[in-house]
Amino acid sequence: MDALDLLLKRCSVPRLAAPAPSGEALENIIQAGLRAPDHGALTPWQFVICEGDGLTRLSTILAEAAQANGADETAVKNAKNAPFRAPMVVAVIARTRVHDKVPTIDQHISAGCATHAMQMAAVAQGYQGFWRTGAFAYHPAVREALAVEGDDHIVGFLYLGTPDCAAANAPKRDTSQFVSYL
């Protein structure tokens, strides 16, 4: 796929089926994440791959977080089912450190760039993805289960798999509404 086409036409696909990316394709996706712009070469990324039993563990973590919130039965069930919307979920964590020249926000942005690059690498190889956070990304119980502490954040749950429906057509936006010149 042409690189510019990928950049201009990328769309998310919410319905993802097996197979998940594996082998070289998955390695390429992770390597793409590891090429995110990185102020100070701090490599502030960690990718927790959930597949098979890992998805079941993630499902339990989300359901327990919903229960801890006092959610009703339907909400707990929704939380439990959420990870199974794809055959693979990659939790992307910004693992930050205090640095005198690199603010924490730069490290969070870098982890966001990594997530985007991974979604792109998936699409480039015939897979698809959907980036979600949702309230659970910020829930203390989910953070604890994924060993996310302090200023670190789960910047996304990147759902990956084979598209089970057509991607939407990317809207062509009017650049003049977003651009100004100083």
Ligand X SMILES: Cc1cc2nc3c(=O)[nH]c(=O)nc-3n(C[C@H](O)[C@H](O)[C@H](O)COP(=O)(O)O)c2cc1C
Our measurement of the distance from residue 68's CA atom to the centroid of its chain's CA atoms, rounded to an integer in Å, reads: 24
The residues that bridge with 49 in the sheet, in sequence order, are 90
Comparing CB distances to ligand X, the nearer of 78 and 100 is: 78
Q: Residue 162: helix, strand or coil by DSSP?
A: strand
Q: Does 47 bind ligand X (CB under 6 A)?
A: no
Report the candidate in 18, 132, 126 with the shortest Cα–Cα distance to residue 82.
132
The residues that bridge with 93 in the sheet, in sequence order, are 46, 154
Comparing CB distances to ligand X, the nearer of 45 and 130 is: 130
Cα within 13 Å of Cα(169), Cβ side: 3
Which one of 132, 141, 151, 164 is in contact with ligand X (CB under 6 A)? 132
Q: Does 131 bind ligand X (CB under 6 A)?
A: yes
Q: Does 11 bind ligand X (CB under 6 A)?
A: yes
Closest distance of CB 150 from ligand X, Å: 20
Closest distance of CB 30 from ligand X, Å: 19
138 DSSP assignment: G
Comparing CB distances to ligand X, the nearer of 19 and 134 is: 134
Residues that bind ligand X (CB under 6 A): 11-12, 130-134, 156, 168
